[in-house]
Structure 1
Amino acid sequence: MKYISTRGGMNALGFSDILLEGLAPDGGLAMPEQLPQVSEQTLESWRGLSYADLAFEVLSLFATDIPADDLRRLTRAAYTQEIFNSEDIVPLRPLGDNGLSLLGLSEGPTLAFKDMAMQFLGQVFEYVLAKRGTTLNIVGATSGDTGSAAEYALRGKQGVAVFMLSPHGRMSAFQRAQMYSLQDENIHNIAVRGVFDEAQDIVKALAGDLAFKTKYRLGAVNSINWARIAAQVVYYFHGWLRATDKPGQQVSFAVPSGNFGNILSGHIARSMGLPVRRLVLATNENNVLEEFFRTGVYRPRPAEQTYATSSPSMDISRASNFERFVFELVGRDPARVKALWASLAKDGSFDLSDLKPQFESRYGFVSGASSHEDRLATIRSVYEETGVLVDPHTADGVKVAREFIEPGVPMLVLETALPAKFSETIEEALGRPATPPGNLANLESLPQRVEVMDCSEAAVRRFIEANAKV
């Protein structure tokens, strides 16, 4: 399996190369030259596998340059009951009797779905760096959950330092405490005075400076890193295997969406042959992606028009992973992708409404948006009807999922995080805060270590130069 860039300017590389590369040298994103296919017979043979062994089967289709015995050891180290506090790793919980279920992706150490990919990345980064005898400086941006998941997966790992940018004052108190309370020498938190999109722009600018990237061995842990997408593909297969009992049965997935990486993994799984009926994209008030799937026009918003909402991890107006889907949508034509992103830079939008009929008929995508009042009402109704407490992002997913339920087709909502990470909103909805797990009860009282700085590429660059692992 080799990988190419969505913009056509990268020689085909192996999995381990793009793992360390992050953003492609031409500014594009790595994609497989062709997607592997999983037959119905193979899919049925995976029933009964543990999550770790299912992860091995799926990831072995993408990481063909890692010996099988080594890859199996990495997946078994990443997905353990001790790390995820659950024998299932990803439990499936019914939400009533209408076919709606919750795919529990938040059992990991940071209580968010990002742990599902990050725990594997922590293992595979250390493995590849040791094999190559080199170091890596991870530079990323987070709107809330990616940062803590990456830091918990990479803390103390040999050969890796992490520089994580976050928007100052725009995450929940619990999210800030999870990240900023880490005292490991290889973890560096940077809070920039701006929004997530501006922090992400700094990360992309540094990755695009090839001399700086090479000198300081910069890598990525955001979902621009293909390994994140590949690891997330696993739980779509897991969810399907848990929700069905016969070959070929269709399942729909509802996905709270900000940076488009999570639902892109569902698109990849569907393209590999998983029987997925619909991919239901759910946004909050920052509904740029919902607008695209409704109109065919992609129109990201500037920072001042990006709302701060009660589902803050989705407060994103420029979705990094969207380029990968557009690459597929335009027939894997890198010249057209380059032209579209040039148009985006020049005019602030591009129009693919001529392809709109394919969004659902060919790719299974439908979309919807949710508001603060929707979130509160959904949190209340789910709790009153089922006794299950959901966080505000997952509530966005449930609200939109309800609009697309079909008889006989299980609808799996991908859980984003545990409610304790957003206790203020839970208290507003139910009149009482969400209780964090016992081992995290005092998290917000721990000392915090963070560098607050202006949202400036130069300032972040200077900090990396002073602290990079070389």
Structure 2
Amino acid sequence: MKYISTRDARATPVSFSDILLGGLAPDGGLYLPQEYPRVSSSTLETWRGLLASQGYAALAAEVVALFVDDIPVGEIRAMTARAYSTPKFASEQIVPVTDLEPGVKIAHLSEGPTAAFKDMAMQLLGELFEYVLAERGQTINILGATSGDTGSSAEYAMRGRPGVRVFMLTPAGRMTPFQQAQMFGLDDPNIFNIALDGVFDDCQDVVKAVSSDAAFKAEYHIGAVNSINWARLMAQVVYYVSSWLRATSGPGEKVSFCVPTGNFGDICAGHIARQMGVPIDRLIVATNENDVLDEFFRTGDYRVRTSAETLATSSPSMDISKASNFERFIFDLLGRDAARTAELFGTGVPSGGFSLAGDPAFPEVDKTFGFASGSSTHADRLATIRSCWEQAGVLVDPHTADGVKVARDFLSSHPDAAPVVCLETALPVKFADTIREALGSEPDSMTPARFRDILSAPRHVTALSNDVDVVKDFIRTSVAEVRV
């Protein structure tokens, strides 16, 4: 299994371990497998038995091994066993799937150490980084951006690991108090929290700009844990497989997935699972008021908003108007035309986006790739949180509420559709203000015991201006001062 950049017309093959440490391709593109591995119905049924008898970690090893040919299978099994274990994860199933209401299920992706779905990839990523760095005798400085959950998941997965430093950019004042406390409460010497004067898209732009500076990237060994790193998506493919297995009873049975998303990473993993042959009917994109992706899937217009136009909402992890992983899907949609992808994303996005409305490829979004979409508002998510609690006794966070709302709308307009599995985003405790607004009070069960003291921890964070050179200087100084 080799990998290629979405912008490389020569399709130069690169190994898994190289793209793991590199993150973004030198040409600014994103890595994807040269071709997706295919899984047969019989393989899926074998995996059904494996999941039932040996659990999620064993299934993860089988899926990951399809994408990794430069790490021994025995090492992969050891890594997944460490990554997906209890009590690190609160549930022995790792990703339980439960019924919410007729036709709608929830895949619980927030059982990990930071109560967010990002733990599902980050825990494995930490194991992969440590293994490859040790094999090569190297160090890495991870530069990432977070709108809420990626940062804490990455930091908890990387804290204390030899050879690894983490520099995490956050949009100042744009995360909930719980999310800030979870990140800024860490005082490990290899963790650096940076509050950038801007929105998430600004943080993401800085990460891309630093990663595109080949000389700086090489000198300071810059790597990535954002979903631009292929290994994140690879790990996320596993829970689509496990959720399909838990939601179905036999070969060929289909379900759809509804996924709250702003950066297109979570649902891009679903796209990959579907391309591999997992019987997924529809992939339903759920957005909030920042509905760039919903607009594209409805109209074909990908209209990037400015920072000033990006709204601050009550589902803040989706307050994104430039979806990094969208390039991977467009690459596939355009028949893997790297030159055209480079044209669209190398020059189109910075100037405001592009349109495929009249392009012959656009109808294939639905017909071939199975995508649908919808959006949700603040009033919608409050109503959804309330109805889930009052009717089913299930408490959902605002992002998951966006997904449930869009799933309900889809089923209402497609009464004969397959059941929908909504992917949970985070535990509601991260968004206490919105829960109280929706329900009028905070349920006693909302805060797990392991998080009860988190808001009282001291904060460790550095405020910086929205300037690439300022961030580079901070990295230079920190690397010179701290040895890991």
**What residue ranges of structure 1 are gaps of 5+ in the alignment?**
none
Matching of residues 133-148 of structure 1 within 5 Å: 133-148=137-152
Question: 3-state SS of the aligned residue for 2:147?
Answer: coil
Matched, 1:327 2:328: no
Structure 1 counterpart of 2:451, from 427, 434, 440: 440
Displacement after TM superposition at 1:342 (Å): 4.0
Q: C-alpha deviations, 1:131-172, integer Å up to 9, x for none? A: 110000000000000000000000001110000000000000
Q: Structure 1 length normalisation: TM-score? A: 0.98
Q: Which amino acid aligns with 1:203?
A: V
Corresponding letter in the other structure for 1:28: G
Q: Deviation at 1:345?
A: 4.5
Instruction: Select the residue among 353, 374, 388 that pairs with 1:368.
Output: 374
Q: Which residue of 2 aligns with 1:6?
A: 6
Contact 1:193 1:454 in 2 (8 A): yes
1:383 maps to 389
Match of 2:213 among 202, 209, 214: 209
Whole-Å separation in 1 of the counterparts to 2:324 and 2:461 = 25
Kindly state the Cα deviation for residue 347 of structure 1 after the two structures are TM-superposed: 4.1
How far apart are residue 343 of structure 1 and its match?
4.3
Tell me, what secondary structure is at the counterpart of 1:139? strand
> Which of 78, 81, 86 does residue 76 from structure 1 map onto?
81
Residue ranges of structure 2 left out of the alignment (5+ in a row): none
Q: Indicate if the aligned counterparts of 1:102 and 1:415 stay in contact, CA closer than 8 A.
A: yes
2:258 to 250, 254, 275: 254
Deviations along 1:408-465, one digit per CA (max 9) or x if unpaired, are: 7221000000000000000000011253211211111110100011111111111100
Q: Deviations over 1:364-408 (max 9, x none)?
A: 100000000000000000111100000000000000001222447
In the superposition, relative to structure 1, how do residues 234 and 345 fare at CA in structure 2: closer, same or farther (>3 Å)? closer
Alpha-carbon contact 1:453-1:459 (below 8 Å) kept: yes
Local SS of the residue matching 2:418: coil
What's the CA shift for 1:359? 1.2
Equivalence for 1:92: 97
* Change beyond 3 A, Cα 1:346–1:320: closer
Match in the other structure for 2:59: 54
CA distance in 2 between partners of 1:356 and 1:329 (Å):
8
**Contact 2:304-2:349 within 8 A present in 1 as well:** no
Q: How many percent identity over aligned positions?
A: 59
Q: Which residue of 1 aligns with 2:428?
A: 419
Matched residue pairs, number?
469
Q: Does 1:461 align with 2:472?
A: yes
Cα deviations across residues 13-53 of structure 1 (Å, max 9, x unaligned)?
11111000100000000010000000011011001321001
Contact 1:343–1:350 (8 Å) recurs in 2: no
Distance (Å, rounded) in 2 between the aligned partners of 1:430 and 1:112: 22
Equivalent in the alignment of 2:24: 23
Instruction: State the Cα distance separating 1:329 from its structure 2 match.
Output: 0.5
CA distance in 1, matches of 2:318, 2:68: 29
SS of the counterpart of 2:421?
strand
Matches within 5 A, 1:220-235: 220-235=224-239
| Equivalent residue, structure 1, for 2:38 | 37
Q: Following the alignment from structure 1 to structure 2, what is the Cα–Cα distance between the partners of residues 369 and 352?
A: 20
TM-score (norm 2): 0.95
Equivalent residue for 1:263, pick from 244, 260, 267: 267
CA distance in 1, matches of 2:61, 2:298: 36
Q: State the match for 1:339 in structure 2.
A: 343
Specify the alignment match of 1:359 in structure 2.
365
What do the CA deviations read for 1:235-283 (whole angstroms, capped 9, x no partner)? 0000000011110011100000111000000000000000000001000
Distance 1:338 1:248, change over 3 A: same
SS in 2 for 1:412: strand
Amino acid at match of 1:37: R
Change (3 A) 1:345 1:43: closer
State the distance in 2 between where 1:408 and 1:441 align: 41
- For residues 357 and 409 of structure 1, the distance between their equivalents in structure 2, rounded to whole angstroms, comes to 21
Assess if the C-alpha contact under 8 Å between 1:374 and 1:396 holds in 2.
Answer: yes
2:67 aligned counterpart, secondary structure: coil
2:158 pairs with 1:154: yes
